[in-house]
Structure 1
Amino acid sequence: MTSTSNIELTQTFHYSTNTHSYDVRWTSLGDEVLPPVIFVHGTPWSSRVWHVYAQSLARYFHVYLFDNPGFGDSPLGKPLPSKAGSISKEVALDADLAQQSEVYAALYHSWEQEWGNKKAHVVAHDHGGLMSLRAHILHGCEYASLCLIDVVAMGPFGQPLFKLVAENEGVFTSLTPTVFEGVVESYIRDAAHNQLSKETMEMLKRPWVSSDEGKRGFVRQLMQANSRNTEEVESKYAEVGKKLPIRIIWGKQDGWLPVDIAERLKEKLNAKEVVLIDGAGHLIMYDQQAKLGVELTWWLSQVPR
């Protein structure tokens, strides 16, 4: 992997729903007059997976990075008192990504105020795809273009591990630190087609293995994945491709989300093509960093600014 300096998320966006308050950490790179590009990460990752691309593209775009609530530098949402005075329970299961998407949409609209008549190009990975689509369909986020990379956006969902964790939550949260770290490392390794560097593996697993809160968060993410569904928005996908340019990029060896999902998504969204990258699994940004960089650069240079 190409070496890159760490990007600090120096800004905080505060947002409250009827039940929770959120503090989302974010930052932007590049000249504010340039066209905006937003990178959206999935699970169990953070905005750090986009650092190399953000730093490179910041010469030509105003690039935004943020961590979803409960990931990276953004804490999980805090429950608010109800009208009756009781405290809402922690959002333990947000399988539809309803809360995540609402918070992202609010963040998007806050940035939008600085753009004038411009719209942002959005690049999304994993469940960031469903978040981006929900924000567009349900929350009025208008994009200049949408690039979907190995995204969670269509059912059916589920891996044997997801079901196992969902049925044995207590077992996994009670694992010793060493055993639990092995589970996390194995899970992350399975997402890549090629061997990850020690530095990359440490960065990806650290948030989940360094504390009990991280352990609970990782288990929660797997339980959500087991219950994921897209019923509220999937029937509306056909209209998305009629309104904005869409590009679908997929790792040819993605063992989590096989390429047939990409083809079905293309049809659903009325997208023109699926770009397959050979030698890449689900973590395409590490398996084939250069190839993905070329595809992203080409796409962003082609779509209207």
Structure 2
Amino acid sequence: MVPSSSSSTISLTQTFHHSTNIFDYHIRWTSLGNPTLPPLIFVHGTPWSSRVWHVYAQSLAQYFHVYLFDNPGFGVSPLGAPLPEVKDTISTSVALDANLAQQSEVFAALYKFWAQDWAGSKAHVVAHDHGGLMSLRAHLLHGCEYRSLCLIDVVAVGPFGQPLFKLVAENEGVFTALTGPVFEGVVEAYIRDAAHRELDRETMEMLKGPWIESEEGRKGFVRQMVQANSRSTEDVEGMYHEVGKKMPVRVIWGKEDKWIPVETAERLKEKLNARDVVVIEEAGHLVMYDQQARLGVELGWWLANVR
């Protein structure tokens, strides 16, 4: 069983407001460490939140100014609200934001807001799951320049999708109507499948809690599953070769990842011109829980070398 994290909970005490031409966002975030240290940003994926990074953020705040945030509709950041003038005209595809275009745009705006305090410096970025595609889109499409990029079991190259994604997408109304222990069982099974080792009860409760404790959470979980079934990278994959020429890139993967096969890591390395691939044994998609110490060593080594 994976041991429970010894880190205390980090509160996201600050709010960043951003409006696109469709949505209004209020992103919760915080930073740790001395502001004069090099900036380091952790980006989470789905269906997680910034809490998956807490133990690493607390340790690395001794050497970096660490930033944590929750994506719209995850953790303590509310889902983006449609602007009144377009509320009744938004199509389902735009509302779902299947290619993460909206979330990437918000992250880019947040990054540039933070960068105002960096005196021309650039941040190191560590991203997991769909946070990988977000960070790549923010760089390639929105001009966010990073000091380095570390991608961990990321959504970045297709094909994507699991049987559950397709099942939920084709039966969205059925899954939205589920409540109580039945819905909780679906969420727990989904999270359990992301880990190679058994998660301790405290960690499981933390990961599934936001999705089962309210009707909004239940709808949000189903929405994420539908979105994941139709994810697309065609508009940025053709530019991936530029990334490794502009910054150091490392790819880290759990060897036992059931969601995105480990073979994807080498494909991504070649596309991005990344420096190297690190495959972590006895780890699944949730490598930060399966092999917490090993991932910590790899992150520490990488950041020490690119700093």
Shorter-chain TM-score bucket reads over 0.9
SS of the residue corresponding to residue 191 of structure 2 reads helix
Which TM-score applies when normalising by structure 2?
0.97
- Structure 2: 5+ residue stretches without partners: none
What do the CA deviations read for 1:231-284 (whole angstroms, capped 9, x no partner)?
110000001111100000000111111111111001100112210000100000
How far 1:176 sits from its partner (Å)? 2.7
1:237 to 224, 235, 240: 240
Question: Does 1:292 find its partner at 2:292?
Answer: no
- Of 95, 99, 120, the match for 2:98: 95
Pair 1:39 & 2:42 matched: yes
CA distance in structure 1 between the partners assigned to 2:214 and 2:88 by the alignment: 28
- The SS at the match of 1:276 is strand
Letter aligned with residue 233 of structure 2: T
From 273, 276, 279, the counterpart of 1:276: 279
Given residue 143 of structure 1, which amino acid in structure 2 is its aligned partner? Y
- Confirm whether residue 23 of structure 1 aligns to residue 30 of structure 2: no
- Please point out which of 225, 229, 239 is paired with 1:226: 229
The answer on whether the counterparts of 1:29 and 1:58 sit within 8 Å (CA) in structure 2 is yes
Runs of 4+ in 1 over 2 A off after TM superposition: 85-92
Deviation at 1:2, TM superposition (A): 3.2
Aligned residue number for residue 165 of structure 1: 168
Within 5 A, what are the aligned runs for 1:63-82? Answer: 63-82=66-85
**Structure-1-length-normalised TM-score:** 0.97
- For the aligned residues, what is the CA RMSD? 1.2
Q: Do 1:79 and 1:89's aligned partners in 2 also have CA atoms closer than 8 Å?
A: no
In structure 2, give the amino acid aligned to 1:199. E
CA deviations over 1:131-153 (Å, ceiling 9, x no partner) = 00000000000000000000000
Task: Give me the whole-angstrom Cα distance separating, in 2, the residues matched to 1:101 and 1:33.
Answer: 27
d(CA) in 2 for partners of 1:181, 1:92: 25
| 1:14 and 1:22 in contact (8 A); partners too | yes
Match of 1:259 in 2: 262
CA drift at 1:177: 1.5
Tell me the distance in 2 between the aligned counterparts of 1:174 and 1:93: 19
Percent identity reads 75
How many equivalent residue pairs? 303
Counterpart in the other structure of 1:182: 185
CA distance in 1, matches of 2:136, 2:238: 12
How far off is 1:175 after superposition?
1.2
Report the CA distance between 1:19 and its aligned residue. Answer: 1.0
Measured in 2, the distance between the counterparts of 1:291 and 1:145 equals 20
Matched, 1:5 2:8: yes
Matches within 5 A, 1:43-54: 43-54=46-57
Cα 1:2–1:81, aligned 2, differ >3 Å: closer, same or farther?
closer
Aligned equivalents of 1:253 and 1:273: distance in 2?
19
2:185 partner amino acid: G
The equivalent of 1:150 in structure 2 is 153
How far apart, in 1, do the equivalents of 2:146 and 2:272 lie?
15
CA deviation digits over 1:138-191, x for unaligned, max 9?
A: 000000000000000001111100000000001101113210000000000000
| Aligned residue type for 1:248 | V
Which amino acid in 1 is paired with 2:106?
V
